Amino acid sequence: MSIAVNPPPSLRSFPISRSPITRSPRVTMVLRSSPPAALPILTKLQNDCATPLPLLRNIADAMAVEMRAGLAVDGGSDLKMILSYVDFLPTGNERGLFYALDLGGTNFRVLRTQLGGRDERVIATEFEQVSIPQDLMCGTSEELFDFIASALAKFVKKEGGKFILPNGRSRETGFTFSFPVKQTSIDSGILIKWTKGFSVSGTPGKDIVVCLNEAMGRQGLDMRVSALVNDTVATLAGARYWDNDVMVAVILGTGTNACYVESVEAIPKLQGHKSSSGKTIINTEWGAFSNGLPLTEYDREMDAESINPGEQLFEKTISGMYLGEIVRRVLVRMAETGSLFGKHIPEKLQTPFALGTPNISSMQQDTSEDLEAVGSILYEVTGVDSNLDVRKMVVEVCDTIAKRGGRLAGAGIVGILQKMEQDSKGVVFGKRMVVAMDGGLYEHYPQYKRYLKEAVAEILGPELSSHVVIEHSKDGSGIGAALLAATNSIFEH
């Protein structure tokens, strides 16, 4: 980030225009009459952002090395490699009524689902989204959790129809909590600190599951938290319910993260925790990865001005929060030293984060002859008047940054798969391996998605990559949290 901006509400968020755009294969544009001084800037940018195969392989290898170091000892790597305590994943046999609460920003979502076991699977699902009043984001712990519990209680009162609580059971919920937590069991975790604009007093250092359970008690709501997870882990669980070959989950939205299924024998730092399945999910927190990344002067400037300099460098090069801002900084440099937009540089263009990643995605999907949509976005968002050649150059900048981001993300995925392959003694790449993807960046930016998949295929080669399936798991984290509540239910299914 640059200057003070509120962090994103969720890793998965990525709003984008829904207007239909005709898509066709992208053709590299020849720039003939753009301001000559701007061309060297573009050329240098493309060279600095280049991700040739040797670099991608180095990134993948480094990711695997950092994963091992993070599993060996806490603090041994930039990657935290957090133990999720999710030792059992959904099998499809789960039955009953289960809830999910997803708190990750200024809104939270409540969901219920009726599970019918192997034959009926998900019988019905309902959800509601609730906005958190601004004053509660800076209030007390009791005020915030009472508000959440009250909304959950109101949602429960609407239960009916296909939603039936079996006799002798109390309601159970999965709790997706996307803030820094030191997890201590499947249903407990200590809040380290609030982020994303929250500064609630009385919660840091406390078990947030206890906070929620106590609030539900004050509301007279007979419900308990059976599973505390982050949204990446919930995405893996949601996808695994439908496909037993899912072993990795990645979120690429406003922010990014990845998790995967690990053997407990491969976790040296694991002490005191026993897993009867022999497996557990590891939350990598891969946004902190930094080894060997092809950074530009624009990345370094943006990082230096952010609220966390020197941290989350992988996230700052591949996630939706930052791609548009990098493009904006390049365009400002082209305007200042290359006269790209004439003598006048609009104030809007000089405003940090004025240009969002949804904007650059929309511009890159404009296939009209005169790039009319590109011109409209530039004018409306940045105040820039442009001719066709300027628009072509802007699209080239967008493509350069998206290509680097997508290919680096692909290399990160291969790094996780390589680590799993090495520890499994060669059985991972010999069978079908599914990577579940969620997040608006992956869903709504086709060029980025294509670059990611191409990088995976390029690094692994045609034979190995044919076994790797990258599937979109839209909103899988909501149902995933409910499924984990079912998997970890105190009642027999």
CB 326, CB 305: distance < 8 Å: no
Q: Shortest CA distance to 486 belongs to which of 82, 97, 39?
A: 97
Residue with tokens 């002067």: 297
Region of 425 on the Ramachandran plot (φ > 0 left; ψ -120 to 50 alpha; else beta): left
- 67: number of Cβ within 10 Å: 27
The one catalytic residue in 48, 154, 182, 196 is 196
Q: Measured between alpha carbons, how far is 41 from 442 in angstroms, rounded to an integer?
A: 28
What tokens were used for 338? 């290359």
Q: Shortest CA distance to 263 belongs to which of 252, 276, 279, 249?
A: 279
Query: Is residue 231 flagged as an active site residue?
Result: yes
At 102, give phi and psi (nearest 5°).
Answer: -115, 105
Please report the sign of the dihedral spanned by the C-alpha atoms of residue 210, residue 214, residue 216, residue 217.
positive
DSSP string covering 123-160: EEEEEEEEEPPGGGGGSBHHHHHHHHHHHHHHHHHT--
The one catalytic residue in 78, 231, 366, 389 is 231
364 beta partners: none
129 beta partners: 109
- Residues annotated as catalytic are 196, 231
